[in-house]
Amino acid sequence: MQKRTLGKSGLEVSAIGLGCMGLNHSYGPALEKTAAIGLIRAAVDQGVTLFDTAEVYGPYINEELVGEALAPVRDRVVIATKFGFKIGDAAGGTDSRPAHIREVVEASLKRLRTDRIDLLYQHRVDPAVPIEDVAGAVKELIGAGKVRHFGLSEAGAQTIRRAHAVQPVTALQSEYSLWWREPETSVLPTLEELGIGFVPFSPLGRGFLTGAIDAHTAFAADDFRNGIPRFSVKNRKDNADLVDELGRLAAGKGVTRAQIALAWLLAQRPWIVPIPGTTKLHRLQENLGAANITLTAGELSAIESALRQIKIAGDRYSARQQQLIDR
């Protein structure tokens, strides 16, 4: 597996990481524990070193799963987790008060079976807490040796700048893919200027870009895609043109749609590290194979030309979820 460095931080990770959320959260029934641990360890065996989790996935279960799976190889991997939500509060919402951050880190360290968190993200920007206070709290945790690197998730350019001025930001994690390119407007230039790495989540469009989902696909009752406008039956029909075009490009290169989508991301910047998730070993192997695919300038130009002709239908989040995105 090729390696990449997240910005100027010096944090080296595999070119493709593993997003662990879907093992037990948001995408239908949880994978049986033994199988989930087996999949994480299979990823390690194939060279993956970046593993992404969060306290809210479950909640707590995902961190415990990742901690148990990676304990035998702890010094060979980079574990990323997140703080920033109220858990157990019926009203929900964000909570990035410094005292709460410290509490979350202590609890996450225990669940992850480790003495340090390699990359700690603020899961969503908290409008009630100045980002300078958040960055300052993480800076103290870094000084104490409990955290190694600071990250943000779904933060806008100005928030990134303000946080970075207090504690250098190693990575931003936000959605970015062939069907969500909004970060290209202001976020990617900001990251490039400041020397911050980018970790795209949902790089396969929550499965849609693989071609495995169409207008007839029925999601499990607890699959959160049921509530996402982009996954309505009508919008899935309307977005089929993108999947068809990916299919043509993939067939011409002898690879899969997923591999084209991931290879495209890797080609955008040398400090981009996507974290596709899966519950299936063959999909894991397929995704990791994208690191060995090089798209030529001509192929990238063809993709760009094709995308200009396709209009993506539907918002990527519900109105309530969209309120948590910082601009």
DSSP single-letter state for residue 180: B
Say whether 57 is catalytic.
Answer: yes
What is 223-237 written as a DSSP string? Answer: BGGGG-GGGSHHHHH
Report pLDDT for 326: 66
pLDDT at 72: 98
pLDDT at 321: 73
Task: Kindly report, residue by residue over 260-310, the tens digit of the pLDDT.
Answer: 999 999 999 999 999 999 999 999 999 999 999 999 999 999 899 988 888
pLDDT of residue 28: 83
So where are the chain's domains?
3-322
Provide the pLDDT for residue 92. 82
Given this model, what pLDDT does residue 152 score?
Answer: 98
C-alpha–C-alpha distance, residues 326 and 186, integer Å? 13
Q: Which fold has domain 3-322?
A: TIM Barrel (3.20.20)
Q: Model-level pTM?
A: 0.96
Using an 8 Å Cβ cutoff, are 233 and 248 in contact? no
* Active-site annotation holder among 27, 57, 121, 317: 57
Ranges in the chain, pLDDT < 70: 89-91, 323-324, 326-327
